Amino acid sequence: MNIIDLENGMPFAVQKGVMSNFGNIKGVRGDGNGSTVFTENNTMPVFDPDFVTYADGWAKTNAIYQGNDRFIGYMSDNELPMNVDMLDRALTVNHTKDVNWYTYACTWTWLRNMTGKESLSMDDVTDELRDLYRGFVWDRYFNVVAPAIKKYDPDHMYLGTRFLTVSRDSQWVYRFAAQYLDCMTINWYFCWEPESEALCGIERNGDMPFIVTEFYAKGNDSVDANGNPMDNNGGAGWVVETQTERGYFYQNFCLKLLQCKHNVGWFQ
């Protein structure tokens, strides 16, 4: 049997770890169950000036696909933090640790600028500010990574960071992402089908194409290679009773995506 040369035989993209590797360098990368997490209140060191230098070097090293007409583009990370309480976490991070100085200082400065108050407390944090701050963090990330990628490989697409499900309720993340991404990637979990409200949110706030890069269902009748029942405790996939219902899930999920004019495909 011949081995298929994927890079010369079919379109492909690459997934990297810009922020996750930078987190390793800074000693704050945590152990996540598939998602990328960080030890300091799960805050990313995105405001650290060293991140700009690191991202530029990363992009230069990884720009190896110029002239490859089958290469689609870059996914620069996977499932980075998108916590609804991202602002709260940054405001309360341990500012006595050097690695947190920029996160802490930039966040409190941002809050002062947004509220117009010099004297602040956690009581000044609102849900509207929480969502705006998520956009602020991601604007910083994309404003560093996207220009670095385009500097060394302007001919291929930047596909984002494989947003995890929670990003779907953040209008400001989409609005900022749309300024930098050629196409957005989303790992879509915890639902029977893509929610109409979330799909409309992408169209309304992002107005950009997107690819669903992960989704799946697990059947309660699944067995391992030895015929033993599988517990289906791992992973984020939807759970159904039978393998037939897994087929129904896949069909229904894809039909829902096909109804959305901004969806350009999915990985499976």
- Convert the pLDDT of each residue in 142-164 to its tens digit: 999 999 999 999 999 999 999 98
Q: pLDDT 10s per residue in the chain (268 long)?
A: 344 455 567 889 999 999 999 999 999 999 877 789 999 999 999 999 999 999 999 999 999 998 888 999 999 999 999 999 999 999 999 999 999 999 999 999 999 999 999 999 999 999 999 999 999 999 999 999 999 999 999 999 999 999 987 667 788 898 999 999 999 999 999 999 998 888 888 888 888 999 999 999 999 999 988 999 888 888 889 999 999 999 999 999 999 999 999 999 998 7
Q: Which residue type occupies 242? A: T
Cα–Cα dist 65/154, whole Å = 11
Cβ-proximal residues to 9 (8 Å cutoff; 6+ apart), any chain: 70
**pTM greater than 0.75 (yes/no):** yes
Cα gap 168→232, rounded to integer Å? 25
Residues 37-74 pLDDT 10s? 999 999 999 999 999 999 999 999 999 998 888 999 99
- Where does residue 81 rank: exposed (0-12), middle (13-18), buried (19+ CB within 10 A)? buried
Give the integer Cα–Cα distance in Å for 122 and 200: 32
Residue 106 φ/ψ, nearest 5 degrees: -65, -35
